[in-house]
Structure formats: structure tokens, C-alpha cells
Chain A
Amino acid sequence: MRVVIDADLCQGQGRCFSIAPSLFGFDELGNGVVLVTGELTEGELELARLAEANCPEHAVGVIE
């Protein structure tokens, strides 16, 4: 499983990088960016799902 941010949906709500700073950072405008590439470890997957469940814009996605 991988985690992605849909840049068209992200509005910089800031939830992902607060919940999981190991997986997400932010750009100059404060929009979220994914810091990890490739398959998530089990612990990362849990955090990614938590970030997904807290994004008001539904911009964070956990995908195959």
C-alpha cells in the first residue's frame, strides 16, 4: 500500500502533517506533501489511514 495526496483537492488544512510528520511535510504554501515513496510499513500504514480519515478535503488517499 502507498499513500498519496491529490494536489487538486488539497487546500492546506494541515491535518496530515500534524498527525503523521514522518509521512507528510508541507510546501511553501502550506499544502501537504508525501515524504515517503513506495510500500508503507505496517506502522506507517496505520498513520496514513489516520491522516486519510482526518483530511476534511478527502485529499489524502491510501492506495494499492
Chain B
Amino acid sequence: MTIEKTPVTDFATDFDHTDPAWVADPYPIWEDLRARCPVAHTERYGGAWFPATHAGVTQIAKDTENFTSRTVIMNDGRPDELALPSPIGVAPPITSDPPFHQIARKLILPAFSPGAINPLEPQVRALCGTLLDRVAGGDVVEASWDYARLIPPSVIRQMLGFPEADTNVFIDIVHTVTESVDLPMDERIAAFAPIEEYFVRQIEDHQANPRDDLTTFLLNAEIDGEKLAVEHVFGTMILILVAGIDTTWSAIGSSLWHLARNPSDLERLASEPDLMPVAIEEFLRFYAPVTMARLVKHDMEYLGVTMREYDWILLGFPAANRDPAAFVDADRFIIDRAENRHVAFGLGIHRCAGSNLARLELRVALEEFIARYPRFTLADPDQVTWSQGQIRGPRRLPIRVG
């Protein structure tokens, strides 16, 4: 059950990122807000602000003095009701603030550095090939649900060292985690019980049979000579699921949606595979899937508005990426854009720790899809649906391949 909401009439004073108009096409809304505000406000969610400019997003993303990351998904719960553990936060390090943040982040960065991620390319490629084999034969491929959706969980499952036979169990878990953000807090907590049970089983198995994977790595990791608290290990596992799955699914889906509607871009990528790394950055700029949230630490005047303690900030990296003050022809997709300082992975100390993995999955998923189907179009634009919330991407995407 999601909470009933009234429709938005003015996004400058009453915005809601779950409003159908925002879900369907947020870009004209952001353009309008940049011209009018540029920091939009709403009393929904207990009070929230949305900076629509690149400069505003940058300033807040880098300001850990005035904003806290301990909750990064905007919801109806108030922070004092959440009983947030300190200093770890529910999903370290994304929900951690300095100084603990840096300790928790340094711990996981080596596992997601290019040195650790690049060797995964053959297995990601093999996975994409298998998924494409499975949907082959028809004239229409469900490119989101049957392809893009299934790539990140399999990669993460392998990284965590969970059994291959559990792939479907794992995909169900991922969906509970990512889709429960809209639920009331008590239902959310209930939905997490079976996940905790599954993770505890996996943790116990890894304690008994240590192996070369992320779970064993987390279990062996130490801070100041002490093993990590169980909540820390569990919280980081949840983070890896929440942050690593819907996000990359969305990026792959949006990119395929673009190519299905823009045959000249598809033709260029099919004939100039070396262009892919540059194109990937433009896909990430233009269709950045992730919006983050912060909480205001104390009452203050900021960016020309009066913020109160515990107001939310909806931190729109996708909106920053469309700001004409920061990008030439910001509203044009330019597949060979040479200068592209996009902020799809955030800015500052919370830069997406999984960005190297996300790029690898996005690139290989597109390369394999195009290699299999050098020409494709949208089968039925009316069937395309988009996710609601802070992660934006197509959830149904029927593509005509024959």
C-alpha cells in the first residue's frame, strides 16, 4: 500500500518527485524550476527543498557541515522516528557522515576499484550473452524486464559469493529492498525480516567456509584492529543491493530506450564501437538515474531560502546534468560529446563507490545487445513504463528486433 497523494499543481511550491507528471517526464519541470526558483520547495514529506541548478546541487553535495547523509531516501518518516544508529548509519558508508564515513568508505573502495572490477568483464559479457540467448527467437524483446533487470543482480550475487542456485531468491530479495521504499515504516521493517534471515545464513556459511568474495572480505575487514560490527556488515550488504541494482538496470534501460528511438546514434555505435566509452558518459549525463537525498542539520539561510532542521534536500544529479549553465546544449544528446563533466555518480565524498562496476555493466550490456541486434526500434511506445522514486529508468521496454 502506498500513501494517497494529491496531484501537484505547482512544482515550485509543492513539488513531489512521485507525481505522475514528474515520473513521466521530469525534464521540462526542472527547466521551468531553474528559470523560476531556482530552489523549489514542498511541505510534503515534512518539508523538502529541490535545487534545480548544477551550482546548487554541487554546493550541497560537497557540504557535509550543513547537511547529513544519514537518510538518503526521502520518505514520510521523520528522522527522530527512525532511531538511526550512530555513527555507522543503516547502510554505511552512504548513510555515514564524516569522520566515520571516510573509515567505512576506505574499507570498501578497494573492492570496487578498477583493479578489482575490470577483471569481471568476461563474466559480465558471458552473462549478457546468456540472457540474450534466452530471449532470442521472437521479433520483440522485453529489454528492461528480461535483459537489463537481470544483469546487475547476477553480478552482485557472484561478487558477494552467494550460490548460483539462489539467483531467483536473490532477485526477489533485491525487489523487496528496492520496492519497499514507498511502504510505511512498519511494513518496510516486516519486509526486511526474510532478507535478514537469508543474509545471516550466507554470513554463517562464509564464516564456516571463507572464500575469495565480498562477503568474506567484509567479515575479515577491521577498523582499528576490531572486526566490523554485524550491523555494519549487514548494512553494507544492503547498500550494495540497493545502490548497485536498480541504478544500473535503469541506466542500461534508458540507454537502450534512447537507441531504439534514435537510429542515427544506434548506427554510429554499431559502426564505431570505439565511440562507446564517450557515448557511455553521455548516456550517464542525459539519463542519470540517481537522485539522492540529504537532511538539513540546523535552521539556516542557504541558497537564498530559509531551511529548517530536518528538512529534506532532494539532490537531483539528473537535473544538474541538464543545466545549460554547466553544459553546452544541455538538452541535446550528443553521442560524441568530448567535454562532459557530468555528475551522474554524485560529487564529493559520497561519489558512487560502485561507479566502475556500473560503467562496466552498462558498456558490456550495450555492446552485447548491439552486437546481437545492430538495428532495433521501440515495439510500442505506449507499453514503456518508468520507475517512480529516486531511481529513474524504464521498467517495461518492448523492443522490436526483427
Contacts and interface: CB of A to CB of B under 8 A. Distances in A.
Contact of A30 (B114, B338, B342, B349): B114
Given A18-B277, A53-B341, A11 B347 contact: yes
B110 interface: yes
B340 interface: yes
A28 B340 contact: no
Nearest to A49: B339
Given A53-B339, A54-B339, A13 B355 contact: yes
Contacts of B114: 14, 17, 26, 30
B275 interface: no
A54 B341 contact: yes
B348 interface: yes
- The B interface is mostly helix, strand or loop, or mixed, namely helix
A12 B102 CA distance: 13
Nearest to B58: A56
Nearest to A15: B281
Contact of B340 (A14, A17, A54): A54
Contacts of A29: 106, 109-110, 113
Given A11-B351, A13-B351, A13-B355, A26 B341 contact: no
B323 to A, nearest CB: 13
Interface in B153-168: none
A28 B106 CA distance: 10
A15 B343 CA distance: 11
Interface residues of B, number: 23
A3 B47 CA distance: 45
Interface in B107-151: 109-110, 112-115
Contacts of A40: none
B355 A14 contact: yes
B75 interface: no
Contacts of A53: 338-339, 341
Contact of B109 (A12, A13, A18): A12
A20 B74 CA distance: 38
B113 A28 contact: yes
B356 interface: yes
Contact of B110 (A14, A28, A55): A28
A57 interface: yes
Contacts of B339: 50, 53-54
B345 interface: yes
Contacts of A56: 341-343, 345, 347
A9 B109 CA distance: 16
Return the 3 tightest CB-CB contacts between A and B, nearest first. A30-B113, A11-B351, A29-B109
